[in-house]
Amino acid sequence: MRNKNVTFMVQAAMIAAIYVVLVVVFKSCSFGPIQFRFAEVLTVLPYFTPAAIPGLFVGCLLANFLAGEMILADIIFGSIATLLGAIGTYLLSRMKVKWLAPIPPIVANAVIVPFVLKYGYGLPDAVWYMMITVGLSEVIVCAVLGLPLLFILEKYKDVIFGLNDYGVRKKA
């Protein structure tokens, strides 16, 4: 039992670290009304492991804190958007329809982040406009880039996540 907990924590920590690094490295395009947060490509990972849920949440929380402009609304609600997207992707993984995996993070971020930008950062753009721009950028990152990542990881899921072809964790 202890080995499962350690594996879960290590996977979550690794995902969080990768998320933070991607946001920091691509900081210039990770924030704002037109954002390409390349770290969001990782939102397909809950399809394979529930450890990705806390990993993505903590990674987003830390990234928004370290690389953002220290806006409390962004740190809290931006991270909640990623958390909701990760939970949604994990729940959709039970349906075994890979094509739907990017939908929850796209929707969560397109709905929540524009309000953070409007009221947290005080951007003058209309919320509906930012829903379109953030939504389209999420489509590009989560679907156009994320789905190929999902299909590549699918081939190596037993090695990376310790899962068999039925999505069941192999016994240690």
The answer to whether 92 and 104 are in contact (CB under 8 A) is yes
Looking at the predicted structure, is the pLDDT value of residue 167 above 50? Answer: no
In this prediction, residue 140 carries a pLDDT of 96
In this prediction, residue 34 carries a pLDDT of 84
Looking at the predicted structure, is the pLDDT value of residue 6 above 90? Answer: no
The answer to whether 12 and 33 are in contact (CB under 8 A) is no
**What share of the chain has pLDDT > 70, as a percent?**
92
Q: What is the pTM of this model?
A: 0.88
Confidence of residue 170 (pLDDT cuts 50, 70, 90): low
CATH topology assigned to domain 2-160: Arp2/3 complex 21 kDa subunit ARPC3 (1.10.1760)
In this prediction, residue 121 carries a pLDDT of 87
Q: Which of 49-53, 94-98, 108-112, 138-142 has the lowest mean pLDDT?
A: 94-98
DSSP 48: T
In this prediction, residue 82 carries a pLDDT of 96
Confidence of residue 125 (pLDDT cuts 50, 70, 90): confident
In this prediction, residue 32 carries a pLDDT of 82
Q: What is the pLDDT of residues 127-166, one digit of tens each?
A: 999 999 999 999 999 999 999 999 999 888 777 776 544 4
In this prediction, residue 169 carries a pLDDT of 54
Looking at the predicted structure, is the pLDDT value of residue 31 above 80? Answer: yes
Q: Where are the alpha helices (DSSP H) in 37-126?
A: 52-67, 72-73, 79-93, 103-115
CA distance 19 to 62: 9
Domain ranges of the chain: 2-160
In this prediction, residue 165 carries a pLDDT of 46
In this prediction, residue 172 carries a pLDDT of 46
Interacting residues of 136 by C-beta distance below 8 A, sequence separation 6+: none
CA distance 92 to 100: 7
Average pLDDT across the chain, whole number: 89
The answer to whether 93 and 48 are in contact (CB under 8 A) is yes
